[in-house]
Structure 1
Amino acid sequence: MRKYIFILSLLLVACSGTNKPPSQVVYRYDDHRYLELIGYYCEGALWYHDTQKNIHKELIDDKFVSFRIFTHTYIHPSEKYIFIPGWEPTAYLMSKDHGETWGVANYMSASGTVELDSEGINRDRPEGKEIKRIVVVNDQAFITTSQGHLYMSSYPFEDPRLKPGGPGIDFTWFDDTYYLYSANKNNLKGEYVKSHIRPESPGSAWGTVVFMKQSLGNLVDGNKANFQNLPDKEPEVKNYKGWDHMQCNIRAGL
């Protein structure tokens, strides 16, 4: 009986040694920055590493949600602004200080739905499988869908008029609310309304939202300097030495 217990104990110790989930590099930005995934079947905890700056940050701890890699084109020469998609990105992990601190970038949509989902329903943002290409260059993100729609983040600075003590921004917008929601539109018209963005309430900070350029005419943020004169297409990337896709061995640790 004692021999049986001893053998069983050895087996338990041996098995416990194999319970540590595998670790693998799933994306390399360059020779010193990379993403590490810890877990089975290409799901688990996500870490960002920068060996040059000695930055090692756990971005997703796998206790409540697991990270799953983004499988389409992902090109990321940007260094200050880091923008990370997952399998079904309704939002994106992002850092604006080389990876020292992290937050989330969300979609910012005006009224109207332009993306058709897998159930045939129009949405105001694309499904993960509809996102074919993400490029992050010059501290700005560009997201291209299979329908040819281009989403982007703003230029990487804040409007100086909205800094503490600044004058704020005066703007005018066309209010056609009554027209839009009335059954009888024959005698209804909109009106131009004067408004103001205060430094105390500046709205979305740079890098924290993604949007379609065409929608900015209906969004308050479109009046800010870093949301104006944006490109109509993704900038060209030259001499990029990082990976162009996330990679993962689904059999790792098995």
Structure 2
Amino acid sequence: MFTGTSAPWGSGAPRILIVDDDPSLLVLLADQLRADGYEAITARDGDEALRRLQASWPDLLIIDMMMPRMDGLTLAREIKGRADLPIIVLSAIDAGDRKADLLEEVAEDYITKPYHYPELRARINRVLRRLGDKVPRQQLVLGPDLTLELHRRVATVAGREVQLTPTESRLLYALAANIGQTVATETLLLRGWADTEQADPSYVWVTMRRLRQKVEVEPNRPAHLVTVRGVGYRLIAREAAPAETGATGGAAPTTGHSAAATDTHMPVDRPSPA
């Protein structure tokens, strides 16, 4: 795991690490970002990027896909395996299928070279706003059977470690930042998928169903990840799993979130027929 720590969100300029083997692009983009008030640091390859990450975590990374020795996808996977840091891909390749795969696996957004700086800046701001409600980089204990470590993209379910995908962890971040409160499906769609114009609410339904299979002891009777029908979803901290489907109750999480986690248990959602 990285030994560095991230600057708190909302305190100081956002720190952005740019990784590209083109020195002129590094200088230009870093200067543009600094002129707009960001803290920009650069790395010419994956090895240098990993060394910089050992010292401190950035708030966001911009990574080129086409680099020698360690390509951008390998670097992104290495980073995501250690900490769930947001990544924007910068690539000369504009391939729809590849773009979709990258967005699902490792990236918050995808920009094609040559980039238009105002657009890139807008995408950066959108990602930072979307992730600005991140929960602390520590364990979030939701009950005796569920602990989340979202910075590692790991859930511990009944003593067993389960790996989360970037999309799954982004949705859990949004829910954990509003523990005990209902988060609208539309909000989760925005949090989970960068390309919201083409995204569909069914993406949220499918991902939540998959998450329940991973983080709930009884996926068909979820104790923590519940549905508020017609509205959205709620993440609940409980002292013990509910004994019956209609059970209520909850406890505040141990990480210091103040919102009470109380909700009537809801049945598992089903997407409406097309």
TM-score, structure 2 length as denominator? 0.26
Calculate the TM-score normalised by the size of structure 1. Answer: 0.28
Which one has the bigger helix percentage? 2
| Between structures 1 and 2, the one with greater strand share | 1
Q: Which structure would you say has the larger RCO, counting Cα contacts within 8 Å and 6 or more residues apart?
A: 1
